[in-house]
């Protein structure tokens, strides 16, 4: 019985990923077909690409935030004598803050980039 639990967990994980991907593309296809049938344009599905400068800025802020988060997590684990488990969440939080800062800076600069 104990050997079946990991087997079901692995199969369930991959099965749920496959179902998610299938449903996403199926729904997107149905929406596009409904727009075409009604005579509307399907331009809402095209993604707006960032120029190279904004893309580099976004990556720079992401890596800087992740680096600062890694450093703070490492310092916290050393000062408080806790396990190194805190390093990874601090890295994710720092990277997320970097992306939020990028959004705040670029939403005022380029109104077309904003989906609101």
State residue 114's pLDDT score. 47
CB atoms within 10 A of CB 90: 20
Spell out the per-residue pLDDT of the chain, length 116, in tens.
Answer: 778 888 889 999 999 999 999 999 898 888 888 888 888 876 766 766 667 777 888 888 888 888 888 888 888 888 888 777 788 888 888 888 888 888 888 877 765 554 54
State residue 111's pLDDT score. 59
Q: What are phi and psi of 42, to 5 degrees?
A: -95, 30
Map out the domains of the chain as residue ranges: 1-46, 47-109
Q: Which two tokens stand for residue 111?
A: 């109104």
pTM above 0.85, yes or no: no
């Amino acid at each position: 019985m104990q050997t079946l639990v990991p087997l079901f967990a692995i199969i369930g994980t991959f099965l749920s990923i496959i179902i998610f991907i299938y449903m996403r593309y199926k729904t997107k296809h149905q929406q596009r077909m409904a727009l075409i049938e009604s005579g509307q344009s399907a331009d809402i599905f095209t993604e707006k690409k960032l120029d190279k400068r904004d893309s580099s800025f976004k990556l720079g802020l992401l890596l800087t935030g992740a680096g600062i988060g890694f450093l703070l997590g490492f310092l916290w684990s050393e000062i408080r004598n806790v396990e190194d488990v805190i390093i990874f969440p601090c890295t994710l939080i720092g990277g997320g803050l970097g992306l939020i800062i990028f959004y705040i800076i670029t939403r005022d600069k380029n109104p077309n980039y904003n989906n609101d």
